[in-house]
């Protein structure tokens, strides 16, 4: 993933689409699990360096326990030779060893805090064997391109802190104190935060996506989150606006987007695609926020899976 400063408007829009599709396609798993053992997303977010970029949290433990992670990621062994070599050298395979992560992307830089069962000695040896260096607990090596410098440290919590950056020592920033985010962290196993600057209208995307992105123009930030319910998935979208008047306008624009999707679904007899499912949402303004909500039955979500 790359930051909004380095991608086209169309690419930014498809980042949002991919995130929504992943939320919808994967989250029905939590119904099968019952109460899920939540990773501490707040503590993980607090370990990221200061900044404000696209941020994703996923509790992969729940996805793995259900078998859905395998369906979404594919069978092990289909990856590149480079990845298979990494697994052989370190013993780490994300399908079974990665429990949760929070990732932030901004300005061409990526920061990751991960909960994982990982042999740090093996990881250190892997970096050194591939031309990397390790100094005072920080290891770094060049990735697939010269500007893709990968560095990592073991955090005081025992989690892994990893950076992908032009700076080969970027992981040293994990020791810096970050301020609490200005947005409410969802109590959900899967969520996505986007700053307002990511919300450019797409070029060349489907008409419904163009309408949706236009409907968020002027937002300060947005949050997608997915929570399990007894009969399906509770999918929510919160959009922070400048004031209550703007929130009302945005809720109205989104209402128009949903109505357009409903009309298209009726005309095409479509009940199973992602646009048709999103058409059934509702939107309202609450103070300075426009809030959308979708309650989707598990059976319909399962049809979105590959």
Q: What does the block give as tokens for 175?
A: 């020791």
Q: What does the block give as tokens for 217?
A: 């123009």
Phi, psi at 17, each rounded to 5°? -60, -45
Nearest Cα residue to 191 out of 27, 2, 43: 27
Would you state the pLDDT for residue 1? Answer: 34
Would you state the pLDDT for residue 31? Answer: 35
Q: Are 28 and 302 in contact (CB under 8 A)?
A: yes
Q: Is the model's pTM score more than 0.75?
A: yes
Would you state the pLDDT for residue 112? Answer: 96
- Each of the 306 residues of the chain gets a pLDDT tens digit; together they read 333 333 343 444 444 444 444 444 444 333 344 444 457 889 999 999 999 999 999 988 866 765 556 655 655 555 667 788 888 999 998 888 999 999 999 988 999 999 999 999 999 999 999 999 999 899 999 988 888 899 999 999 999 999 999 999 999 999 887 778 888 888 888 899 999 888 765 566 667 667 667 767 789 999 999 877 777 778 999 999 999 999 999 899 888 888 888 888 888 887 778 888 888 899 999 999 999 999 888 777 777 765
Would you state the pLDDT for residue 29? Answer: 39
CA distance 261 to 45: 35
Would you state the pLDDT for residue 9? Answer: 39
Write the CB contacts of 104 (distance below 8 Å, at least 6 apart in sequence): 48, 51, 53, 54, 55, 110, 111, 112
Q: Are 32 and 66 in contact (CB under 8 A)?
A: yes
CA distance 261 to 277: 9
Strand partners, 160: 114, 154
Would you state the pLDDT for residue 274? Answer: 80
CA distance 264 to 160: 46
Would you state the pLDDT for residue 211? Answer: 67
Q: Are 205 and 14 in contact (CB under 8 A)?
A: yes
Q: Which residues of 62-93 are buried (b: 16+ CB within 10 A; e: fewer)?
A: bbbebebbeeeeeeeeebeeeeeebbeebebb
CA distance 285 to 265: 25
């Amino acid at each position: 993933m790359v930051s909004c400063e380095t991608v086209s408007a169309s690419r930014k829009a498809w980042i949002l689409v991919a995130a929504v599709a992943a939320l919808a396609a994967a989250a029905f798993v939590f119904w099968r699990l019952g109460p899920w053992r939540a990773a501490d997303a707040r503590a993980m977010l607090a370990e990221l360096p200061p900044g404000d970029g696209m941020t994703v949290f996923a509790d992969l433990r729940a996805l793995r326990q259900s078998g859905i992670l395998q369906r979404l990621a594919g069978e092990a062994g289909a990856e590149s030779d480079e990845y298979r070599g990494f697994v052989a050298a370190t013993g780490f395979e994300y399908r079974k060893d990665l429990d949760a992560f929070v990732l932030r992307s901004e300005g061409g830089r990526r920061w990751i805090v991960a909960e994982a069962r990982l042999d740090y000695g093996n990881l250190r040896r892997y970096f050194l064997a591939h031309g990397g260096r390790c100094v005072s607990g920080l290891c770094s090596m060049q990735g697939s391109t010269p500007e893709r410098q990968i560095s990592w440290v073991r955090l005081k919590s025992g989690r892994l802190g990893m950076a992908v950056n032009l700076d080969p020592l970027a992981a040293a920033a994990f020791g810096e104190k970050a301020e609490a985010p200005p947005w409410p962290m969802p109590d959900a196993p899967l969520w996505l935060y986007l700053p307002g600057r990511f919300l450019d209208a797409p070029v060349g995307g489907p008409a419904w996506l163009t309408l949706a992105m236009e409907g968020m123009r002027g937002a300060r930030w947005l949050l997608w989150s997915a929570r399990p319910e007894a009969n399906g998935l509770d999918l929510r979208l919160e959009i922070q606006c400048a004031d209550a008047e703007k929130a009302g306008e945005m809720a109205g624009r989104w209402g128009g987007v949903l109505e357009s999707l409903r009309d298209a679904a009726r005309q095409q007899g479509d009940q199973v695609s992602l646009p048709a499912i999103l058409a059934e949402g509702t939107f309202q303004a609450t103070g300075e926020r426009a809030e959308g909500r979708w309650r989707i039955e598990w059976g319909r979500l399962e049809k979105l899976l590959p």
